[in-house]
Amino acid sequence: MLRLDFYVQHLVRQNARELALASNEAVRFKFQDGTDRASAQPIDHMQVVQLVQEAAPPAAADELRRTRTTSFTHVTEGGVVVNVEVTTPSPQVWRVRVVPDDGGPGIEVVSAKPSRPDPAKVEPIAIKPEPARPAIAAPLAA
């Protein structure tokens, strides 16, 4: 089972409208009534990276490498369809937002089983740090 599928199962069980994962932060479930609930333990940065690497289609992974942001639709092994948004403000901070495909309450279930990539062939997504900007020199004293 893909890591993303595990979290989508919890999204469904909790009847949440959104799931938010961020490097080294608690996993947050957001509900229709505006409330949210956080997990007791934070999710490790590498777990967030692996979750995206396993589930992102090649085009989305490429877009993430180039632009530090991407979105894609994912179908779990159980047939739940979700939209996934990924942003990477830095190589050490990744944020993932997962919502049911219709963007609101209720989960769309499809009958076809999705195909899964061979884990041995999953290509790592490397996010390059932005180049350092030169410091602005202070004005000379008069």
| pLDDT tens track for 40-51 | 999 999 999 999
Supply 88's token pair: 């990477």
The torsion of the CA quartet 44, 45, 47, 48, rounded to 10 degrees, works out to: 120
Supply 57's token pair: 């289609």
Is residue 8 predicted with pLDDT exceeding 60? yes
Q: pLDDT > 70: what percent of the chain? A: 72
Is residue 109 predicted with pLDDT exceeding 70? no
Burial class for 53, CB neighbours closer than 10 Å (0-12, 13-18, 19+): middle
